[in-house]
Amino acid sequence: MTAPLRNDSDRYKELQTLLANLLHTGQKDTHEFKTAWQESEAIKNRNGGMPPAEPCPTCGGEGGLDSGGVTPWGSPISIPCPSCSAK
């Protein structure tokens, strides 16, 4: 099994932290700052110019939760995530 790709939201947050740190320490003209900035802009562009949304903490962005039950034909039953559907 391959490791899941880290999602854009996590990476974006990491980049914002890094950028803020570099800014606070007067390193905004460094190559590191520029590459981190470019990467964060690229992530935003992939998301239609917006910072990526946080995945739902309850279902992880799946939109449904495993109810633990199975249908008579053996498929797992998922219920709509209460956190997502509350919006």
Query: Does 9 engage in binding with Zn ion (CB under 5 A)?
Result: no
Kind of pairing between the strands at 76-80 and 64-70:
antiparallel
Angle between helices 8-24 and 31-46 (to 10 degrees): 150
- The dihedrals phi and psi of 4, each to the nearest 5 degrees, come to -65, 145
Residues contacting 3, CB < 8 A, separation 6+: none
Query: Does 64 engage in binding with Zn ion (CB under 5 A)?
Result: no
Stretch that binds Zn ion, among 4-12, 20-28, 67-75, 77-85 (CB under 5 A): 77-85
Of positions 5, 56, 73, 76, contacts Zn ion by CB under 5 A: 56
Which is nearer to Zn ion, 3 or 86 (by Cβ)?
Answer: 86
Query: Does 84 engage in binding with Zn ion (CB under 5 A)?
Result: yes
* Binding region for Zn ion (CB under 5 A): 56, 58-59, 81, 83-84
